[in-house]
Amino acid sequence: MILRRSHLAAGHLPLLPIPLLWMILALLLPATTPPMCHGKTVGPSDPLQVQLQPEQGLPEPRAYMPDAQHLDFVYHDHEELTRFLRATSARYPNLTALYSIGKSIQGRDLWVMVVSSSPYEHMVGKPDVKYVGNIHGNEPVGREMLLHLIQYFVTSYNSDQYVKWLLDNTRIHILPTMNPDGYAVSKEGTCDGGQGRYNARGFDLNRNFPDYFKQNNKRGQPETDAVKDWISKIQFVLSGSLHGGALVASYPYDNTPNSMFQTYSAAPSLTPDDDVFKHLSLVYARNHAKMSRGVACKSATPAFENGITNGAAWYPLTGGMQDYNYVWYGCMEITLEISCCKFPPAYELKKYWEDNQLSLIKFLAEAHRGVQGFVFDPAGMPIERASIKIKGRDVGFQTTKYGEFWRILLPGYYKVEVFAEGFAPREVEFVIVEQHPTLLNVTLQPSKRIEGIGAVGPAGIGPGGLGVGGVGGVGVGPGSLYRPIQTPQHYRPPVPPYAGAASNDNGIFSTISNGLNSLYSNIFG
């Protein structure tokens, strides 16, 4: 039957089959139901549309919707990634700086974007932090999350108080992809397996760093060497490495001093800063939409209590990046496994952003927890490369050329030991509180030289004392233009346990161990 305009004018509808009648009404009546987004109703009560509930102090970061003209929830190849970063740097020159730390084997730039209210100059007294994504080429969710994090920061700086505070007091370095060659050969929708995991020479980059527990004889790769050089030049305080294949925050140590036959027993390998690493992992897991529930990705994979795990307790590995950051440079890095599927379909990226946005931001703010300060000589000049160690925590760190230092610590009473060539060592007590960082300035006195004996000096606590201050610390000296420059080697770790012993990486046992490690890694993260 034909529906004529005269029927409508007369105020009645002809008799029609019910399904056809509903179709006509749907076209004529205005839509009243909120639109669906990948199976989820988006309406006034949806967290994407409302301000997140603030806590004490600054409000929480606001939820974010991307500008589709600049960045959508799709996977971006290297050319598209490069265009986005360059366009963002040009559009927000006061908040961003783009630089390359090197090139991959196939010549792709390893781009890093600084996001800060001082992108080109170091802010004296304020920490540098970093995120590294896509170290395994077939785990690209982190790569896309970091691009959206960059856009969120620059578009929210003037409207989000939390973001403004973070960027005014922190320099955030973001390396979206450490393995662009591996990504180029990976396939969307592949949840398991190793295609694209490795670099163009077939090396796992997260097994390619020097290791504290075992001699790592694997040949260094350009991507790994670039990252090693990068973190030797900037005193990073906090770092996160984004992976896929599980849903957990994993913290050092990744390796263990046990023999090969004990390697695959689930035994934790704890750092002297285990309390801090657990706290940092919980900050990420608890701000994540699902991670802290500790639910296994699938029946054959482990579940993690509170969504966190010690790396070696999960499965040990040699040559990992997070152990290297911590032992060699005192940078507290954790590994963030953020997707059960290594390379999920692009339509799921929006949901991954909703799950991870708050975690990615709140984790970086932890760089402002603990103690920060300066080491001076009696004339008030900064002492560069002074060695610092929290007593009872044997992994140390060093001051910058401005005499700055930072250490993430939980509330409590501590002693810090400070050493510098030509100066008498000092030990200073201080207190950490929850509400704000402790500002601790230490003045070292020159060593006294006695004929035939060498340099000695008085022990104990001298001038300098303890001060408590807010974020931002003390401004000392002018800032210099930020471009990484070659500096002397930072803190060198203690002599590793394997020194003087035969290498564990040779022969048939090494082959078996590496094969098991590779199989486990391909299944999980």
CATH of the domain at 243: 3.40.630.10
Q: Say yes or no: 273 and 407 in one domain.
A: no
Q: Domain with 420 in it: what CATH number?
A: 2.60.40.1120
Q: What is the pLDDT of residues 100-132, one digit of tens each?
A: 999 999 999 999 999 999 999 999 999 999 999
Helix (H) or strand (E) holding 174: strand 171-175
User: What proportion of the chain, given as a percentage, has pLDDT over 70?
Assistant: 71
C-alpha closest to that of 50 among 61, 58, 40, 39: 61
Q: Say yes or no: 245 and 387 in one domain.
A: no
Whether 263 is in a domain gets the answer: no
The residues assigned a catalytic role are 337
Mean pLDDT of 51-55: 35
The predicted structure's pLDDT at residue 112 = 98
Domain boundary among 368, 388, 414: 368
DSSP 323-361: HHHHHHH--EEEEEEEESSSS--GGGHHHHHHHHHHHHH
C-alpha closest to that of 315 among 279, 387, 265: 265
Gyration radius from the chain CA atoms: 26
Predicted confidence band of residue 257 (pLDDT cuts 50, 70, 90): confident
CB 49 within 8 A of CB 42: yes
Q: Looking at this protein, which amino acid is placed at residue 38?
A: H
Q: Say yes or no: 409 and 345 in one domain.
A: no
C-alpha closest to that of 316 among 207, 241, 240, 227: 207
* Helix 349-365 with 141-156: angle, nearest 10 deg: 60
Q: Say yes or no: 235 and 353 in one domain.
A: yes
Whether 12 is in a domain gets the answer: no
Tokens of 334: 């954790």
Domain boundary among 368, 387, 403: 368
Q: Say yes or no: 409 and 357 in one domain.
A: no
Q: What is the pLDDT of residues 273-316, one digit of tens each?
A: 999 999 999 999 999 999 999 989 988 788 899 999 999 999 99
Q: Say yes or no: 399 and 332 in one domain.
A: no
Q: What's the rounded Cα separation, in Å, for the pair 198 and 202?
A: 5
Q: Say yes or no: 304 and 423 in one domain.
A: no
The 10 Å Cβ neighbour count of residue 497 is 11
Q: Say yes or no: 231 and 352 in one domain.
A: yes
Q: Say yes or no: 181 and 240 in one domain.
A: yes
Domain boundary among 446, 480, 498: 446
Tokens of 381: 């000049």
pTM for the whole thing? Answer: 0.78
Mean pLDDT of 248-270: 79
Report how many domains make up the chain. Answer: 2
Question: What is residue 94's three-state secondary structure?
Answer: coil
Q: What is the pLDDT of residues 505-519, one digit of tens each?
A: 444 444 444 554 555
What distance lies between CA 52 and its chain's CA centroid? 23
Pairing of strands 36-37, 40-41: antiparallel
Residue ranges in 200-348 assigned as alpha helix (H): 222-233, 274-287, 311-314, 321-329
CB 282 within 8 A of CB 310: no
Q: Say yes or no: 360 and 422 in one domain.
A: no
Whether 29 is in a domain gets the answer: no
Whether 280 is in a domain gets the answer: yes
Structural domain range at position 412: 371-446
Q: What is the pLDDT of residues 428-481, one digit of tens each?
A: 999 999 989 999 999 999 997 654 444 433 333 333 333 333 333 333 333 333
Whether 327 is in a domain gets the answer: yes
Q: Say yes or no: 395 and 340 in one domain.
A: no
Q: Max CA-CA distance within the chain?
A: 117
Whether 118 is in a domain gets the answer: yes
Q: What's the rounded Cα separation, in Å, for the pair 405 and 391?
A: 15
Q: Say yes or no: 152 and 235 in one domain.
A: yes
Whether 194 is in a domain gets the answer: yes
The predicted structure's pLDDT at residue 176 = 98
Whether 395 is in a domain gets the answer: yes
